[in-house]
Homo-oligomer: A and B are copies of this chain.
């Protein structure tokens, strides 16, 4: 056993570097989820590597990961850009959320304790607070966080990860198809939901979540807006 002495204050330590990448990944991911990087925005490798002070190789790795999560789209020889979900994808994502998140509610209700409920209430409170003080970006992320945390409470890490991905993509969908000023989730919906879960009423929570998600989806104006190549002839009625 080799003696690992504490005072390792290496500047470019390995562990630090590893976490650095993760931090950058999170920074980009958050920026996308919070819609500070809007769908369609190009993400050039050089620019990112300069901004974050890591090599292009590292940036590339991060972009790969984001692409796998479908937050960015990699077009061969054209690089990365923030994904602009299609109407079909939006439908798929919300259908998937219906199936998974609703299906998880009974499990969540079963495992919901005081501590968990308190944590969720805190998240809901922060979300309301952010919304009230005009920090829409933060509110969007907190709303996603709420749904993800809920899924995690089901105890199924795999499904929770799926929900995480679906929520991230939902942010993109809201950015493209949502109305300005109308954030996906109604502010007190989440609190109501916690109530049902705390009461152990899984079926009730399930039904509520279903309506909740339907409401979000209904608030979108999903109209396959401008394709890459709009038919000008048609546009101008010629």
Contact = CB atoms under 8 A, between A and B. Distances in A.
A38 to B, nearest CB: 19
Interface of A: 1-3, 12-18, 57, 61, 64-65, 67-70, 73-77, 86, 88-89, 91-93, 95-96, 99-100, 103-104, 156-159, 162, 166
A68 B2 contact: no
Contacts of A166: 158
A65 to B, nearest CB: 6
Nearest to A3: B88
Contact of A88 (B1, B88, B96): B1
A159 B99 contact: yes
B15 A76 contact: yes
Contacts of A157: 88-89, 92
Given A2-B86, A2-B88, 16 more contacts: A1-B88, A2-B89, A2-B91, A2-B92, A13-B74, A14-B67, A14-B68, A57-B57, A61-B61, A68-B68, A93-B158, A96-B156, A96-B158, A96-B159, A99-B100, A158-B166
